[in-house]
């Protein structure tokens, strides 16, 4: 029996227009009514996920930053779990990006910083309804770093190349693509699996009672934490190899169809 549904957000329950279908909203509401916990597990900032939880009318803690933080969805909510990237590694990644003319988003204390106000950051934030601050990273106290995100909207192969190169250079970090354009760099324990396992222990829920669903390679860790592992129809080929079941696409309410199959 499924007692908890842990779901990625973008490309899983949030469509390409960055909205929820009415079917997804109704499905989540029904799950909550039946006492099944629904947890948003996202690479997004915590502050960028709280409005989504509010729209879906769920009050469970949010897993943000790929698993780097577990925090209540309400304002000034309780932080249950947090894993920060060290300043030592942040400085190395910043130097790498500057040397290679790579755009970086730096997330520090749930605030987004960039060094240049350019089209990349405007495109990124417009889709997510979040603010950002422009300053030299040299002027920041590099503590409580949630994650670093390297972006290139023009060349996915370049991004995958970054991931492979950085994995070799820094095998002790967690480095993964969250979309074809995003290379995420985090604390080694800032994984979706680690955060979900924490919540399972907190709520005394067994792995076999968890349905996990996602669409990108950063959801490999999410699926590993589930007893029922579901990949979206629009998921990457690699993620699908980890899944027990491949549902329909996000635009065809694949999330709802998976819930109907396994939770009823």
What digits encode the pLDDT tens for the residues 42-84?
A: 999 999 999 999 999 999 999 999 999 999 998 778 999 999 9
- Same domain? For 148 and 114 the reply is yes
* Angle at the Cα of 237 from the Cα atoms of 257 and 20, rounded to 5 degrees: 35
Please state, for a pLDDT cut of 90, what percent of the chain lies above it. 95
Q: CATH number, domain at 168?
A: 3.30.1240.10
- Same domain? For 198 and 70 the reply is yes
- Same domain? For 92 and 43 the reply is no
Mean pLDDT of 145-160: 97
Give per-residue pLDDT as tens, 165-189.
999 999 999 999 999 999 999 999 9
- Same domain? For 77 and 200 the reply is yes
Q: Is 133 helix (H, G, I), strand (E, B) or coil?
A: strand
- Tell me which residue of 247, 200, 248 sits closest to 222, measured CA to CA: 200
Q: pLDDT: is 251 or 264 the higher one?
A: 251
The last residue of one of the domains, among 148, 164, 186, is 186
Pick left, alpha or beta for residue 245 (phi over 0 → left; psi -120 to 50 → alpha; otherwise beta): beta
Burial of 104 (0-12, 13-18, 19+ CB in 10 A): buried
- Same domain? For 100 and 162 the reply is yes
What's the predicted TM-score (pTM) here?
0.95
Give per-residue pLDDT as tens, 83-108.
999 999 999 999 999 999 999 999 99
How many domains would you assign to the chain? Answer: 2
Whether the Cβ atoms of residue 223 and residue 239 lie closer than 8 Å to each other: yes
Range of 153's domain? Answer: 87-186
- Same domain? For 106 and 181 the reply is yes
């Amino acid at each position: 029996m499924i007692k908890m549904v842990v779901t990625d957000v973008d490309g899983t329950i949030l469509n390409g227009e960055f909205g929820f279908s009415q079917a997804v909203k109704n499905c989540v509401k029904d799950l909550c009514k039946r006492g099944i916990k629904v947890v948003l597990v996202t690479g997004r900032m915590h502050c960028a996920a709280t409005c989504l939880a509010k729209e879906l009318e769920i009050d469970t803690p949010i897993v943000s930053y790929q698993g780097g933080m577990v925090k209540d969805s309400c304002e000034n909510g309780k932080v249950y779990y947090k894993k920060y990237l060290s300043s030592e590694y942040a400085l190395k990644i910043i130097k790498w990006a500057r040397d290679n003319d790579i755009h970086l988003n730096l997330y520090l204390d749930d605030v987004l910083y960039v060094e240049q106000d350019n089209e990349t950051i405007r495109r990124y934030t417009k889709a997510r309804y979040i603010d950002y601050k422009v300053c030299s990273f040299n002027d920041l106290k590099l503590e409580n770093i949630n994650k670093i995100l390297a972006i290139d909207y023009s060349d996915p192969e370049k991004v995958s190349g970054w991931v492979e190169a950085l994995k070799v250079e820094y095998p002790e970090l967690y480095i993964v693509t969250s979309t074809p354009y995003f290379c995420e760099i985090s604390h080694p324990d800032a994984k979706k699996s680690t955060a979900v396992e924490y919540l399972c222990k907190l709520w005394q829920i067994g792995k076999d009672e968890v349905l996990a669903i996602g669409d990108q390679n950063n959801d490999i860790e999410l699926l590993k934490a589930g007893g029922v592992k579901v990949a979206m129809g629009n998921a990457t080929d690699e993620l699908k190899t980890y899944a027990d079941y491949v549902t329909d696409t996000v635009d065809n309410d694949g999330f709802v169809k998976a819930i109907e199959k396994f939770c009823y």
